[in-house]
Amino acid sequence: MSLMQKFLGAAATLALTSGAALADPAIIYDLGGKFDKSFNEAAYGGAERWKAETGGTYKELEMQSEAQREQALRRLAEAGANPVVMTGFAFGDVLNTVAPDFPDTKFAIIDMVVERPNVKSVVFNEHEGSYLVGMMAALASKTGTVGFIGGMDIPLIRKFGCGYAEGVKAVNPDATIVMNMTGTTPSAWNDPVKGAELAKAQKSQGADVIYAAAGGTGIGVLQAAADEGILSIGVDSNQNYLHPGQVLTSMTKRVDNAVYEAFKEGADMTTGINVMGLANDGVGYALDEHNAALVTPEMKAAVDAAAEKIKSGEIVVHDYMSDNTCPSASF
C-alpha cells in the first residue's frame, strides 16, 4: 500500500467517524400530535431541552395514520439520524422488524420492550405514580366516589387505572371508583368530545374527582370537569396550568427525561431495558402554584410518606401488566 493510499484510507475513516459523531438525533411522535399537552408534548419538551442546552439540531416526524409507522422509522434511519426515538408502545412490532436492517443505528422506544441489540427500551412504573394521585383523589373527594377515564383499552392504560384504584382504596376502602375507557382503537387517544361526555356521565354517578389517562382525549375530560365544578387529575405532562384551581394534580411521567437522555447519549446510547419509577424520579405528582390551594399540608404529607414507602419497597403497588388482574377495581 502506498503512502497516498494510506493517507486516503485514513481520511475516509476520519470522514465516516466525523459524520457519525455529527449525526442528528430524531424523534417520531405517536398519533395525537406533538402538541397534545400530554405524552407527545412531554417528549417534545425533552428534545427541546437537549436542543437548548447543546445548540444541536434534531429531526422530527409527526404521523397522521397507523400505516406511516414503518415508513417514518425507515426514512429517519436511512437519513442517518442516530439515535431515533419513538414515543409509544405501538411502534413495538415495527421497530422489531426495522432495527435489524440498521445495525449501526441506535433506537429508543418509550412504553414498550423490544429486545434487539441496538434498541433501548424505556418503560415506566405508571402504577406507582397513579397510586399517589389516587390517594390524593380520595383525600380530596367529598362524595366518596371518584372516576378514571382511560384512552385506548390496553393493558398499559389499565396499569394506570389499577394503580390509581389501589391508592384510592388505601385512603378510603369504601370508596366507589367509576372506570371507563374511551375506545378500543387508536382514535381513543384523540377524542376530547368523547372524553367530555364520559366525564359528565361520571359526575352524574357521583364522581367529584376524575383522573384522565387518555392523551388528547384527556383535554376534554379536564375541560368538562372544570365546567361541571369538579376536580380532575392530569397525566404525563404537568397539566395543572390548563385549569388553575380545578386540576387537583397531574401524574407526571418523565417522558421528557427519557428523550433528553437518549439525545444526550447520542450514537453511544446505552441499549437494553431502562425502568423509570418513583425511585429514580421517572414518575410522580405535580405540585405548583396552579394547584397549591387544593393540596392541604396533610394531603401532601400522606402522599409523600407513601412515596417513600414505595421507594423503599415497604409498599408494593400491584402492576396490572404483571398478571392482567386488578385487585382494587373492575374494568
Burial letters for 169-203: b for 16+ Cβ neighbours within 10 Å, e otherwise? bbbbeebebbbbbbbeebebbbbbebbbbbbeebb
Q: Which amino acid is at 239?
A: Q
- 131 shares a domain with 218: yes
Residue 131's pLDDT is: 98
Residue 22's pLDDT is: 62
Whether 45 is in a domain gets the answer yes
Q: Which range marks the domain in which residue 82 is found?
A: 3-125+257-276
- 137 shares a domain with 97: no
Residue 276's pLDDT is: 97
How crowded is residue 143: how many other Cβ atoms within 10 Å of its Cβ? 14
Condensed to tens digits (0 to 9), the pLDDT of residues 158-207 reads: 999 999 999 999 999 999 999 999 999 989 999 999 999 999 999 999 99
Whether 132 is in a domain gets the answer yes
- 177 shares a domain with 243: yes
Dihedral sign (CA 157, 60, 217, 287): positive
| Mean pLDDT across 227-244 | 97
User: The CATH number of the domain where 27 resides is what?
Assistant: 3.40.50.2300
Q: Are 298 and 57 in contact (CB under 8 A)?
A: no
- 203 shares a domain with 119: no
- 60 shares a domain with 48: yes
Whether 310 is in a domain gets the answer yes
Please give the tally of structural domains in the chain. Answer: 2
Condensed to tens digits (0 to 9), the pLDDT of residues 71-106 reads: 999 999 999 999 999 999 999 999 999 999 999 999
Q: What pairs with residue 284 in β-bridges?
A: 252
How many alpha carbons fall within 13 Å on the CB side of residue 160?
A: 31
| Mean pLDDT across 251-269 | 96
Task: Give this prediction's pTM.
Answer: 0.88
- 101 shares a domain with 156: no
Whether 331 is in a domain gets the answer no
- 271 shares a domain with 134: no
**Which three cell numbers, joined as nine digits, stand for 294?**
387544593
Cis amide leading into 244 (omega within 30): no
